[in-house]
A and B are shown apart, each in its own frame.
Chain A
């Protein structure tokens, strides 16, 4: 079909991929098999979602929550899980019932200026995430004693080139495998023998504090769990499969299980870290975070953590900048030219390159990596409510979704959720601004 084979990224599975598709197909029909397969770490969007949430910045944020507040953020994480499930459901519904990505929907449904605002927010949040991913790669190598200045530039170049020249999809399997190291967290959480009574109590009993430290971490937890790009990704996935209204239930099941699974892993990270180094104040270094894996890996904990961190960071390091480029391309209306000639689509290529370059450069500045990681998640948390508002407005529109638009109960619930998240972000912003003037609440 295309006359330029070299410029086309081969994303068709090979012969073995066909077999994999068959397995996926049969798994789609048998729910328990499918769930089993996700847990086996072989395939499924659930795993992707889990990996998306548990990238470098995610690990750092959850570990910091465990380190600073032990189990006290667990109830909050349950709320975040509910938020994630709600938001992902809306995203998937938009994809299934309109057959369009969220970028395209925003362009068609909002004024051009509002579209620009939304995409600028996404681009900013994602660039922050790219910074975090390269910081994660740096942190992984610093754990084994290699200075990040030596590692980040070649890593950035490698990811950039692999995506451009089409070999990324092979590398991605390796990264995915590496990142499976983090599946050691649930085991670590059990082996660490935490005070389960305490864990249960913190899961059930609301525990909020208005201290700015808690607020900051809370916003970071929202930012890292309900990352804006995940909604774009979820909707795009549904559209791409051609799942229409009749496929919505299956798609929703995917989204919900994926979200719950991702959050379960996050909660395990908090528990494992809380049990290992809880109460020692904010997380200082990646090596502290790695201590949570000692019950599983013993002396190898540092290496296991480094390997997982590298895999997760490298994986997200390509997906996140692609996601913003794709959303913007979609809104501008050039996403399809991208699909044929990735390397020759100037807008797409430019955005992708700039994000990687900015991300790698900021990650090389001599600041505390953990601080940088959490900082990017706070930025995400502040932007999240803006993007959520767009999704909420879209999902509320009857002229867009017809009978599939948010019903009255869902609408109220989702609105409370978005308002709640916005309130936290605004509180944090207010707190920070007041802090500049030396006022603390």
Chain B
């Protein structure tokens, strides 16, 4: 949503801040680590000397193994230019890494060609200057510098520098370029990098803390992250989310952004995501895609969702049928309150779309619309027939035709002061439901984000 903590929901803010405070107490903040921090950007091109102090080459890049499940990924090796050749040296031959200086343990060099093992990334090439997610700040950033430090026997990646000043530092004279300036450093634990899957290695994703935090994020925040990432990174983020979480986030995205995301995603995945979305949101998304693209996606969506979506698509967007949800909870007159409550448990995935339960008679025509209030305040063993006998007039279903306009739906809501209305066909059979928030969405002018390329379209 918003990275400014003052405008966040209070609960989310305090939780995130607590997490951030905890993290601040970790590696980069510990004095001994701080003193030993080495800038990766500064190491590039730095001299490599052997045990005897003779210069043997220059640092080209560092290799780290991400996604090991460890908090701070270990540096597994270094790429060194010796003469004209770039070779790989394992971490075991590194004696120390200091500011702009790398010393080897041995005088002898065992030079090999670099072969990437699963989970390994080449830091300067794939992570530095690339996008990553700051999980605490819930934002997408570009790494201005990476910091590593000796922790125990290993050298590990501990943080990411994201400040503008660091960029300027790196433009400056050589001596200054590698001096760590850890003023805006994000602990590596709070970062979701993309390095290894971006470069096409087998995804050996093991759950990190930051990934777990990602999944716990609110859909709106995830939607922002998805919008902010470039294409490959965006698809990679989708990889790390289960379809349900991803679909929830997709529902919160700007229509234009969602359209672009679905267009660039693999059609199989796009279809899975759409099938997991609420029907009304899924229809909105499909509507924005054009003929062939839409058909291609629809063909991959499993039944019965496909027929449902096709039906919904047949209504014009601005009519009730076009923005209703088809998730409906139904009950019959012979059900007890307890039965209905039990049935509602099955709607967990669609809870945002359920705010009432419609009551049908034996012919399947609509007799009443029960709000959640009735379900809470009446005894579990009371039958709906008995309940309706008492309060029939209050539970009269409020309906609109599928061809009603947004304004008509709004008028109906205002008149009856209900949180939702049912959409019915000509024979009074229920087709779907429109909640007040759907009407708000439809009435508010759509507000996109500032997009420079679209300025002239």
Interface residues of A (CB under 8 A from B): 1-5, 8-12, 14, 25, 28-29, 43, 45, 48, 51, 98-100, 104, 107-108, 112-113, 116, 168-169, 172, 176, 233, 236-237, 239-244, 247, 315, 318-319, 322-323, 326, 332-333, 336-340, 342, 347
Closest 5 CB pairs of A and B: A99-B231, A333-B142, A242-B260, A236-B453, A12-B446
Given contacts A9-B449, A236-B453, A340-B449, 14 further A-B contacts (CB under 8 A): A1-B254, A3-B1, A8-B448, A9-B448, A9-B450, A11-B448, A29-B290, A99-B231, A99-B264, A242-B264, A326-B452, A336-B139, A339-B227, A340-B2
Pairwise interchain contact B263-A12, C-beta atoms closer than 8 A: no
Q: Say whether B22 faces chain A, with CB atoms less than 8 Å apart.
A: no
Distance in Å: Cβ of B178 to nearest Cβ of chain A = 12
Please name all residues of chain B whose beta carbon is closer than 8 Å to the beta carbon of A29 when the two chains form the complex.
290-291
Pairwise interchain contact A10-B452, C-beta atoms closer than 8 A: no
Q: Say whether B141 faces chain A, with CB atoms less than 8 Å apart.
A: yes
Most buried by A among B140, B261, B262, B453: B453
Contact pick for B450, options A8, A107, A243, CB 8 Å: A8
A-B contact pairs, 17 of them (CB 8 A): A1-B252, A10-B448, A29-B290, A43-B457, A98-B232, A112-B41, A233-B453, A237-B453, A242-B231, A242-B261, A244-B264, A322-B452, A332-B164, A333-B141, A336-B228, A339-B449, A347-B164
Pairwise interchain contact B142-A107, C-beta atoms closer than 8 A: yes
Pairwise interchain contact A243-B263, C-beta atoms closer than 8 A: yes
Pairwise interchain contact A12-B232, C-beta atoms closer than 8 A: no
Distance in Å: Cβ of A86 to nearest Cβ of chain B = 21
Bound-complex Cα distance A374 to B1 (A): 46
Known A242-B259, A332-B142: A12·B448 in contact at CB below 8 Å: yes
Known A4-B7, A11-B455, A336-B140: A342·B450 in contact at CB below 8 Å: yes
Produce 1/0 per residue, B158-180, CB < 8 A to A. 00001010010011000000000
Distance in Å: Cβ of A8 to nearest Cβ of chain B = 5
Produce 1/0 per residue, B431-457, CB < 8 A to A. 000000000000001111111111111
Distance in Å: Cβ of A124 to nearest Cβ of chain B = 17
Please name all residues of chain A whose beta carbon is closer than 8 Å to the beta carbon of B32 when the two chains form the complex.
none
Bound-complex Cα distance A315 to B131 (A): 32
Contact pick for B223, options A1, A112, A176, A315, CB 8 Å: A1
Produce 1/0 per residue, B132-145, CB < 8 A to A. 00000001111010
Pairwise interchain contact A338-B7, C-beta atoms closer than 8 A: no
Known A1-B252, A10-B448, A332-B167: A241·B1 in contact at CB below 8 Å: no
Bound-complex Cα distance A360 to B453 (A): 24
Pairwise interchain contact B228-A12, C-beta atoms closer than 8 A: no
Q: Say whether B220 faces chain A, with CB atoms less than 8 Å apart.
A: yes
Most buried by B among A43, A108, A168, A338: A108
Known A104-B230, A333-B131: A240·B453 in contact at CB below 8 Å: yes
Q: Say whether B130 faces chain A, with CB atoms less than 8 Å apart.
A: yes
Please name all residues of chain B whose beta carbon is closer than 8 Å to the beta carbon of A98 when the two chains form the complex.
230-232
Known A99-B231, A242-B263: A12·B450 in contact at CB below 8 Å: no
Known A99-B232, A240-B260: A48·B445 in contact at CB below 8 Å: no
Pairwise interchain contact A112-B167, C-beta atoms closer than 8 A: yes
Pairwise interchain contact B454-A240, C-beta atoms closer than 8 A: yes
Produce 1/0 per residue, B29-59, CB < 8 A to A. 0000000000001000000000000000000
Bound-complex Cα distance A100 to B263 (A): 15
Please name all residues of chain B whose beta carbon is closer than 8 Å to the beta carbon of A112 when the two chains form the complex.
41, 129, 167, 170-171
Q: Say whether B335 faces chain A, with CB atoms less than 8 Å apart.
A: no
Bound-complex Cα distance A9 to B445 (A): 12
Q: Say whether B256 faces chain A, with CB atoms less than 8 Å apart.
A: yes
Known A25-B290, A332-B164: A241·B260 in contact at CB below 8 Å: yes
Known A1-B254, A107-B129: A12·B445 in contact at CB below 8 Å: yes
Please name all residues of chain A whose beta carbon is closer than 8 Å to the beta carbon of B447 when the two chains form the complex.
1-2, 5, 8, 10, 12
Please name all residues of chain B whose beta carbon is closer than 8 Å to the beta carbon of A5 when the two chains form the complex.
447
Pairwise interchain contact B230-A100, C-beta atoms closer than 8 A: yes
Most buried by B among A5, A176, A333, A340: A333
Bound-complex Cα distance A12 to B254 (A): 10
Pairwise interchain contact B455-A172, C-beta atoms closer than 8 A: yes
Distance in Å: Cβ of B295 to nearest Cβ of chain A = 13
Bound-complex Cα distance A129 to B96 (A): 51
Known A242-B259, A319-B456: A339·B450 in contact at CB below 8 Å: yes
Bound-complex Cα distance A318 to B455 (A): 10
Contact pick for B227, options A176, A247, A336, CB 8 Å: A336
Pairwise interchain contact B455-A338, C-beta atoms closer than 8 A: no
Bound-complex Cα distance A113 to B448 (A): 34
Pairwise interchain contact B256-A12, C-beta atoms closer than 8 A: yes
Known A112-B171, A242-B263: A3·B453 in contact at CB below 8 Å: no
Please name all residues of chain A whose beta carbon is closer than 8 Å to the beta carbon of B291 when the two chains form the complex.
29
Bound-complex Cα distance A29 to B231 (A): 25
Please name all residues of chain A whose beta carbon is closer than 8 Å to the beta carbon of B228 when the two chains form the complex.
336
Q: Which residue of B lies closest to A7 (CB)?
A: B450
Bound-complex Cα distance A51 to B457 (A): 12
Pairwise interchain contact A116-B171, C-beta atoms closer than 8 A: yes
Please name all residues of chain B whose beta carbon is closer than 8 Å to the beta carbon of A45 when the two chains form the complex.
457
Please name all residues of chain B whose beta carbon is closer than 8 Å to the beta carbon of A240 when the two chains form the complex.
260, 451, 453-454
Please name all residues of chain B whose beta carbon is closer than 8 Å to the beta carbon of A10 when the two chains form the complex.
445-448
Pairwise interchain contact A14-B445, C-beta atoms closer than 8 A: yes
Q: Which residue of B lies closest to A342 (CB)?
A: B450
Please name all residues of chain A whose beta carbon is closer than 8 Å to the beta carbon of B167 when the two chains form the complex.
112, 332
Q: Which residue of A lies closest to B263 (CB)?
A: A242
Q: Which residue of A lies closest to B288 (CB)?
A: A21
Please name all residues of chain B whose beta carbon is closer than 8 Å to the beta carbon of A107 when the two chains form the complex.
129, 142
Please name all residues of chain B whose beta carbon is closer than 8 Å to the beta carbon of A242 when the two chains form the complex.
231, 259-264
Q: Which residue of B lies closest to A326 (CB)?
A: B452
Mark out the residues of chain B between 1 and 25 whose CB falls within 8 Å of any chain A CB in the assembled complex.
1-3, 7
Pairwise interchain contact A2-B2, C-beta atoms closer than 8 A: yes
Pairwise interchain contact A239-B449, C-beta atoms closer than 8 A: no
Bound-complex Cα distance A25 to B294 (A): 13
Bound-complex Cα distance A242 to B454 (A): 12
Please name all residues of chain A whose beta carbon is closer than 8 Å to the beta carbon of B260 when the two chains form the complex.
240-242
Bound-complex Cα distance A208 to B259 (A): 49
Q: Which residue of B lies closest to A116 (CB)?
A: B171
Bound-complex Cα distance A8 to B224 (A): 14
Distance in Å: Cβ of B37 to nearest Cβ of chain A = 19
